[in-house]
């Protein structure tokens, strides 16, 4: 049974270009999540899983775009192929059909493990870079949501009894951020 080719794209940040992942690939529909790979809330992936039917092919740029880790990758590939859905990874040049050889399953595990390893190395290098930047005095962390003057006004109004939810909305910050400002005096 010949089905549709359906694309799945995940971009980690809003400034990444989702079209790049499936350029020069013919698909009839694309599901795009704008979320970190570690984020378990991927509504478009859930929508894709509900949408696909037996005979369809899911096309993904690479394994790390589909899954957060090796276990998640195996689970998703198995879930799709058991329903008669093929899954194609463009970067790795691999296709899984559910009737895969032991060699194909080994490749899935090896490539997935490499992707997981690569993500771990990137995180480690990022942490090392931040540590070095802090030692040089070049890293100050995330930009503060409020200026010192705004923070003082916020504290003053909260102390006067204004509702915290209202203040958070007015200052365009989350309530958690508001409470962080109230706990600190700087």
Segment (H or E) for 94: strand 94-96
Q: Which residues have a catalytic role annotated?
A: 12
Helix (H) / strand (E) element for 78: namely helix 70-82
How would you class 43 by CB atoms within 10 Å of its CB: exposed for 0-12, middle for 13-18, buried for 19 or more?
exposed
Retrieve residue 137's tokens.
């005095």
Provide the 8-state DSSP code for 33: E
Number of residues assigned to the chain = 186
99 burial (CB, 10 Å; 0-12 / 13-18 / 19+) is exposed
Selection from 119, 122, 113 nearest residue 72 by Cα? 113
Burial 158-170 (b: 16+ CB within 10 A, else e): beeeeeeeebbee
């Amino acid at each position: 049974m010949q089905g549709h080719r359906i694309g799945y794209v995940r971009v980690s940040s809003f400034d990444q270009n989702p079209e790049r992942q499936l350029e020069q690939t013919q698909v009839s529909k694309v599901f795009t999540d704008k979320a970190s790979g570690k984020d378990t809330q991927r509504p478009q992936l859930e929508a894709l899983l509900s949408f696909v039917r037996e005979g369809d092919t899911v096309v993904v740029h690479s394994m790390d775009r589909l899954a957060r880790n090796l276990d998640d990758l195996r689970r998703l590939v198995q879930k799709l192929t058991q329903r008669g859905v093929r899954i194609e990874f463009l970067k790795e040049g691999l296709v899984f059909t559910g009737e895969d050889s032991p060699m194909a399953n080994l490749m899935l595990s090896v490539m997935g493990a490499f992707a997981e390893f690569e993500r771990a190395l990137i995180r480690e290098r990022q942490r090392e870079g931040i540590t070095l930047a802090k030692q040089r005095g070049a890293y100050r962390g995330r930009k503060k949501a409020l200026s010192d003057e705004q923070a003082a006004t916020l504290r003053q109004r909260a102390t006067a009894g204004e509702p915290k939810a209202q203040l958070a909305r007015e200052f365009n910050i989350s309530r958690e951020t508001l409470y962080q400002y109230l706990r600190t005096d700087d």
